[in-house]
Protein backbone atom coordinates (compact mmCIF):
# COMPACT_ATOMS: atom_id res chain seq x y z
CA UNK A 1 0.00 0.00 0.00
CA UNK A 2 2.91 2.35 0.70
CA UNK A 3 4.18 1.86 -2.82
CA UNK A 4 0.83 2.78 -4.34
CA UNK A 5 0.43 5.85 -2.14
CA UNK A 6 3.98 6.92 -2.97
CA UNK A 7 3.24 6.54 -6.67
CA UNK A 8 0.00 8.55 -6.42
CA UNK A 9 1.53 11.39 -4.39
CA UNK A 10 4.65 11.39 -6.58
CA UNK A 11 2.54 11.74 -9.72
CA UNK A 12 0.52 14.57 -8.22
CA UNK A 13 3.78 16.16 -7.06
CA UNK A 14 5.16 16.01 -10.58
CA UNK A 15 2.08 17.82 -11.87
CA UNK A 16 2.40 20.47 -9.14
CA UNK A 17 6.08 20.88 -9.99
CA UNK A 18 5.45 21.36 -13.71
CA UNK A 19 2.58 23.78 -13.02
CA UNK A 20 4.66 25.76 -10.52
CA UNK A 21 7.58 26.00 -12.90
CA UNK A 22 5.54 27.06 -15.94
CA UNK A 23 3.34 29.53 -14.07
CA UNK A 24 6.20 30.74 -11.85
CA UNK A 25 4.19 29.87 -8.73
CA UNK A 26 6.81 29.13 -6.03
CA UNK A 27 4.41 27.58 -3.49
CA UNK A 28 3.12 25.06 -6.05
CA UNK A 29 6.71 24.33 -7.06
CA UNK A 30 7.78 23.65 -3.47
CA UNK A 31 4.64 21.59 -2.81
CA UNK A 32 5.48 19.50 -5.87
CA UNK A 33 9.02 18.89 -4.67
CA UNK A 34 7.67 18.01 -1.24
CA UNK A 35 5.17 15.56 -2.70
CA UNK A 36 7.91 13.89 -4.72
CA UNK A 37 10.37 13.55 -1.84
CA UNK A 38 8.00 12.99 1.11
CA UNK A 39 6.92 9.41 0.20
CA UNK A 40 10.58 8.35 0.15
CA UNK A 41 11.09 9.51 3.73
CA UNK A 42 7.89 8.26 5.40
CA UNK A 43 6.91 4.60 5.69
CA UNK A 44 3.74 4.64 7.79
CA UNK A 45 0.52 4.89 5.79
CA UNK A 46 -1.26 7.30 8.13
CA UNK A 47 1.58 9.85 8.09
CA UNK A 48 2.01 9.39 4.35
CA UNK A 49 -1.66 10.21 3.72
CA UNK A 50 -1.73 13.15 6.15
CA UNK A 51 1.51 14.63 4.85
CA UNK A 52 0.50 14.14 1.23
CA UNK A 53 -2.83 15.85 1.78
CA UNK A 54 -1.09 18.70 3.61
CA UNK A 55 1.33 19.23 0.72
CA UNK A 56 -1.54 19.08 -1.75
CA UNK A 57 -3.46 21.78 0.17
CA UNK A 58 -0.43 24.04 0.56
CA UNK A 59 -0.86 26.07 -2.68
CA UNK A 60 -4.52 26.71 -1.82
CA UNK A 61 -3.84 27.81 1.75
CA UNK A 62 -0.75 29.97 1.17
CA UNK A 63 -0.87 32.61 -1.53
CA UNK A 64 1.86 35.01 -2.55
pLDDT digit string (tens) for the chain, length 64 residues:
889 999 999 999 999 999 999 999 999 999 999 999 999 999 899 999 999 999 999 999 997 7
For residue 54, give every residue at least 6 positions away whose Cβ sits within 8 Å of its Cβ, in sequence order, or none: none
pLDDT score, position 1: 85
DSSP classification of residue 41? H
Compute the radius of gyration of the chain from its Cα atoms. Answer: 11
Amino acid sequence: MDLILGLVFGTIGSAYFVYGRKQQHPIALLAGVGLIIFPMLVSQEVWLILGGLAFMALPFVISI
